[in-house]
Amino acid sequence: MPAHAGIHAFLDTPKTSPRAKNPICVHLRHLRITFFAYLLCTAKIPLDSASHLCNILKTISRQRTERIMLDKTIVNEFSHVKPGDTPWRMDGLRDFFLYRDLGVAASTGGRVICQLVKANPDRPPEHGTGWHQHIADFHIVIMTKGWARFMYNDKEHLVAAGDCVHQQPGITHYLFDYSPDMEYLEITSPADFGTVDAEAPCAVPPPSPWPTAAE
């Protein structure tokens, strides 16, 4: 049997299988590839013997993966959060915004977060969020009050009350201006999504000064 045929026979997890994209399965699959290459090239074990040993390893890893997946209970509970149930917090992603959790992260086991975000009345826009990207599978923003000005890549977008924005994973953006009464609903998956700085694709307009008490 030619070497490439043995490798393909060994790596026969269908792309349509639920295990094909599971991170645990992908990691174990990479380990099997490395082990297979070691047996063939370094240990110089004949192809048939290497395939047999790797098939044993494949069976063991599949059984362990199935046990891990069964042990991980999916949380999906009912939740009803009223306005006074959760506080506005200042310890969110941006210190110039206030955040109020709506209970979805706990009721989904961290698969989704749903939170209200609003402007901190003591922190008018200065430098904004900076250019960044979110590491997330799903992210939408629904403006409920006021407005915010975003840069999405090199395009400016005014997002006003009633607008809905779907931020596809990895899009480079910058929230640089917002009204004193800005408030939006943010729904993201997973709840502990990441944020990384990004290169600036273009210049950013200056923010609008907030009206003073005398005005």
How much is the pLDDT for 35?
59
In 64-191, which ranges are E strands?
A: 97-101, 113-119, 132-135, 138-145, 147-152, 155-160, 164-166, 173-178, 183-189
Residues linked to residue 160 through DSSP beta bridges, in sequence order: 147
3/10 Cα distance (integer angstroms): 11
154: left (phi over 0), alpha (psi -120 to 50) or beta: alpha
Three-state DSSP at 101 gives strand
170/92 Cα distance (integer angstroms): 20
Planar angle of CA 11, 12, 13, nearest 5 degrees? 100
Residues linked to residue 152 through DSSP beta bridges, in sequence order: 155, 173
How much is the pLDDT for 2?
45
Q: Are 119 and 146 in contact (CB under 8 A)?
A: yes
How much is the pLDDT for 5?
45
How much is the pLDDT for 124?
92
- Whether a cis peptide bond, with omega within 30° of 0, leads into 190 is yes
What's the CATH fold of domain 97-197? Jelly Rolls (2.60.120)
Q: How far is CA 212 from CA 114, 122, 160, 209, in A?
A: 32, 12, 22, 9
Q: How far is CA 81 from CA 32, 87, 109, 144, in A?
A: 47, 11, 16, 17
> How many CA atoms, within 13 angstroms, populate the side-chain half-sphere of residue 54?
27
Q: What is the mean pLDDT for each group of 10 consecutive residues in the chain (215 residues)?
A: 44 48 56 59 61 66 62 85 96 95 96 97 92 96 98 97 96 97 97 95 95 66
Place of tokens 């990479």: 30
DSSP symbols for 160-181: ETT-EEE--TT--EEEEEE-TT
For the chain, domain boundaries: 3-71, 97-197
Of 125, 34, 109, 102, which Cα lies nearest the Cα of 76?
109
